[in-house]
Amino acid sequence: MQLGFLNDRSYTSHIALALISVTTTSSLLAEDEGQAYIGLNSGLMLIDSSVGYEDPVSLGVYGGYQFSDMGFAIEGQMTLPISSAESGIASAGDLDIFTLGVYGVWRSPGRVYFKGKAGFMYEYLSTDFAGFPLEESGFGLSLGVGGGVRITKTIAAELEYTIIETDIDYLSLGLTYSF
């Protein structure tokens, strides 16, 4: 079997450049070790009051990898409902909100720090109206801001506000463990 595309100089150049990049990146990461972390938070899903639901409580689980002291990290987060959002409308059922997101995160240096994040999120909402189940899901952009305090070298407490969609936000307090 012949791999004809390897005869083209541009493909060969791209492969060589990719190998050099991987080698260089690997050596830089070896010199500049980052830190993995996991965390647990809980808070309110803040639902726009015009929708007619009370704010439910959610539990969030997250983890990521912070690249050295630069403050940049990649983070994944999942939130699950602890309590359902109750409606003031008799024919509307309780609302449950589930989210799954991937973010680019930046934390400022210092014991007390600022946190900003941007990424993509999948959300799933379920309720029933007049006895009929209703479900909605979709992907979208998600942004968050917050701050934290490094309690020890490995434990931090964070307060965060995350935009889920135009009428749902998540205000949470959590603990992060770095290892």
What separation in angstroms does the CA of 34 have from each of 65, 98, 100, 154? 7, 30, 24, 13
Instruction: Kindly write down the DSSP assignment for every residue of the chain, as one continuous string.
Output: ---GGGGSHHHHHHHHHHHHHHHHHHHHHHHS--EEEEEEEEEEEEE-GGG-BPPPEEEEEEEEEE-GGG-EEEEEEEEEESSPBPBSSTTB--BEEEEEEEEEEEE-SSSEEEEEEEEEEEEEEEEEETTEEEEEEEEEEEEEEEEEEE-SSSEEEEEEEEEEETTEEEEEEEEEEE-
Listed as ranges, residues in the chain with pLDDT below 50 are 1-8, 11-12, 14, 19, 22-30
The pLDDT assigned to 108 comes to: 96
Query: In whole angstroms, what separates CA 142 from the centre of its chain?
Result: 8
Evaluate if pTM is beyond 0.85. no
Rounded Cα distance between 28 and 8, Å, is 31
The pLDDT assigned to 144 comes to: 97
> What are the tokens at 5?
């595309």
Rounded Cα distance between 177 and 179, Å, is 7
The pLDDT assigned to 87 comes to: 77
The pLDDT assigned to 6 comes to: 41
Question: How crowded is residue 171: how many other Cβ atoms within 10 Å of its Cβ?
Answer: 16
Rounded Cα distance between 86 and 107, Å, is 35
Rounded Cα distance between 93 and 168, Å, is 17
The pLDDT assigned to 17 comes to: 52
Would strands 35-47 and 57-66 be described as parallel, antiparallel, or unpaired? antiparallel
